[in-house]
Amino acid sequence: MRILCVDDDEETLDVVRRALERDGHTVLAARDPASALTALASARVELVVLDVMLEHASGLDLCAQLRKDGLEAPILFLSAAGKVDARIAGFDAGGDDYLAKPFALKELVARVRALGRRGPSVRARVVQLGMVRLDFDARRATAGDSEIPITQREWDILRALADGQGRVVPFDQVLETAWGEATESGRASLEVIVSRLRKKLDAAAGRPVIRTTRGLGYALEPA
Amino acid sequence: MTPPSPSPSPSIEHSVARAYLVSIVSVAVAIVLVGALMATVVVVRRDDHEALAVAQTMASELGPHDQDPKLDALVSEELDEQRWFHRQIEVWRGATRIGATGPGRLHDFGTTDGCHSGRLGSTLTRFCSLGANSLRIVIASPMAPLFVAELPLVLAIAAVAALAVLIFSLLSRRLIRRSLEPLRRFEARLAALAPLDGDVQEHWGASEIDTLALTFRSLLRRIADTVEREHRFVSNAAHELRTPLTRLRGQIELALAEAQLGPEPSRRLTLAVRTCEELARSTDALLALARDELGRRETVELGEVAAEVLRTLTDAERARITLTDPSVAAVRGDEILLTLAVRNLVDNALKYSDGPIELCIAGCTIQVIDHGRGIPPDEIEDVRRPFVRGRDRQETRGTGLGLALADHVADLHGGELLLENHQGLHAILKLPPWTPVAVREPLG
One DSSP character per residue, B209-228 reads HHHHHHHHHHHHHHHHHHHH
φ and ψ at B293, to 5 degrees? -150, 160
φ and ψ at A105, to 5 degrees? -60, -35
Query: Does B280 sit within 8 Å of A186, measured CB to CB?
Result: no
Give me the pLDDT at residue B393, please.
57
User: Using CB atoms, which residue from B258, B273, B328 is nearest to A196?
Assistant: B328
Mean pLDDT, chain A, whole residue set: 85
On chain B, the residues whose CB falls within 8 A of the CB of A104 are: 249, 253, 273
Give me the pLDDT at residue B294, please.
72
Q: What is the mean pLDDT of residues B303-326?
A: 87
Query: Does B239 sit within 8 Å of A53, measured CB to CB?
Result: yes
Give me the pLDDT at residue B104, please.
59
Chain B residue with the nearest C-alpha to that of A18: B254
Which fold does the domain B294-430 belong to in CATH? Heat Shock Protein 90 (3.30.565)
Residue B317 or residue B142, greater confidence: B317
Domain boundaries, chain B: 13-152, 193-292, 294-430
φ and ψ at A142, to 5 degrees? -135, 150
Integer Cα distance of B28 and B161 in angstroms: 10
Domain boundaries, chain A: 2-118, 126-220
Looking at this protein, which amino acid is placed at residue A31? R
Give me the pLDDT at residue B442, please.
40
* pLDDT higher than threshold 70 for residue B247: yes
CA distance A152 to chain B (A): 7
The pLDDT-based confidence of B165 (bands split at 50, 70, 90) is: confident
Radius of gyration of chain A (CA): 18
The answer to whether residues B168 and B23 touch, using CB atoms and an 8 Å cutoff, is yes
On chain A, the residues whose CB falls within 8 A of the CB of B277 are: 102
Q: ipTM surpassing 0.85, yes or no?
A: no
Residue B15 or residue B422, greater confidence: B422
Give me the pLDDT at residue B441, please.
42
Could you tell me how many helices (H) and strands (E) chain A has, helices first? 8, 12
The CATH number fitting domain A2-118, selected from 3.40.50.300, 3.40.50.2300, 3.30.830.10, 3.40.980.10: 3.40.50.2300
Q: What is the mean pLDDT of residues B163-169?
A: 86
Which of A136-145, B141-150, B282-291, B294-303 is predicted least confidently? Answer: B141-150
Model pLDDT for residues A65-118, shown as the tens digit of each residue? 888 888 888 999 898 875 555 555 666 677 788 888 889 998 899 889 888 877
On chain B, the residues whose CB falls within 8 A of the CB of A151 are: 298-301, 304, 330, 335
Model pLDDT for residues B186-234, shown as the tens digit of each residue? 888 888 877 666 777 778 878 888 888 888 888 888 888 888 887 778 7
CA distance A62 to chain B (A): 19
pTM, to two decimals: 0.57
Model pLDDT for residues B389-431, shown as the tens digit of each residue? 666 655 555 556 788 889 999 998 999 999 998 888 999 999 9
The whole-angstrom distance between residue B206's C-alpha and the CA centroid of its chain comes to: 21
Which of A9-23, A158-172, B17-31, B113-127 is predicted least confidently? Answer: B113-127
Q: Do domains A2-118 and A126-220 have the same CATH topology?
A: no
Integer Cα distance of B400 and B281 in angstroms: 13
Q: What is the mean pLDDT of residues B149-176?
A: 81
Chain B interface test: which of A15, A88, A98, A154 (most B C-beta within 10 Å): A15
Give me the pLDDT at residue B440, please.
46
What beta strand segments (E) does chain A contain? 2-6, 26-30, 47-51, 75-79, 97-100, 126-129, 132-135, 140-143, 146-148, 169-170, 210-213, 217-220
Residue B126 or residue B310, greater confidence: B310
On chain A, the residues whose CB falls within 8 A of the CB of B441 are: 135, 138, 140
User: Using CB atoms, which residue from B239, B284, B439 is nearest to A142?
Assistant: B439
Which of B71-75, B103-107, B404-408 is predicted least confidently? Answer: B103-107
Give me the pLDDT at residue B366, please.
93
User: Using CB atoms, which residue from A19, A147, A199 is nearest to B328?
Assistant: A199
Query: Does A15 sit within 8 Å of B254, measured CB to CB?
Result: yes
Burial (CB count within 10 angstroms: exposed 0-12, middle 13-18, buried 19+), residue B437: exposed
Helix, strand or coil, per DSSP, at residue B78: helix
- What residues are paired with A77 via a beta bridge? A50, A98
User: Using CB atoms, which residue from A15, A140, A142 is nearest to B251?
Assistant: A15
Q: Residues 6 or more apart from B225 whose CB is under 8 A from it?
A: none
State in Å, rounded, how far the first CA of chain A is from the last one.
Answer: 35
Q: Residues 6 or more apart from A174 whose CB is under 8 A from it?
A: A157, A160, A161, A190, A217, A218
Chain A interface test: which of B247, B310, B331 (most A C-beta within 10 Å): B247
Chains A, B: CB contacts within 8 A come to 129
Query: What is chain B's length?
Result: 444
The answer to whether residues A50 and A75 touch, using CB atoms and an 8 Å cutoff, is yes
CA distance A97 to chain B (A): 16
Integer Cα distance of A191 and B55 in angstroms: 125
User: Using CB atoms, which residue from B283, B334, B436 is nearest to A146?
Assistant: B436
Give me the pLDDT at residue B189, please.
84
Torsion, Cα of B211, B217, B219, B221 (10° steps): -160
Give me the pLDDT at residue A23, please.
92
- What residues are paired with B429 via a beta bridge? B366, B417
Chain A interface test: which of B252, B336, B343 (most A C-beta within 10 Å): B336
Q: What is the mean pLDDT of residues A153-163?
A: 86
* pLDDT higher than threshold 60 for residue B2: no
- What residues are paired with B115 via a beta bridge? B128
* pLDDT higher than threshold 70 for residue B55: no
On chain B, the residues whose CB falls within 8 A of the CB of A102 are: 242, 245-246, 248-250, 276-277, 280
Integer Cα distance of A36 and A33 in angstroms: 5
* pLDDT higher than threshold 80 for residue A180: no
Tell me the pairing of strands A47-51 and A75-79: parallel
Helix, strand or coil, per DSSP, at residue A207: coil
Radius of gyration of chain B (CA): 49
Q: What is the mean pLDDT of residues B330-357?
A: 89
CA distance A143 to chain B (A): 10
The pLDDT-based confidence of B368 (bands split at 50, 70, 90) is: very high
The CATH number fitting domain A126-220, selected from 3.30.70.20, 1.10.10.10, 1.10.3720.10, 3.40.50.970: 1.10.10.10
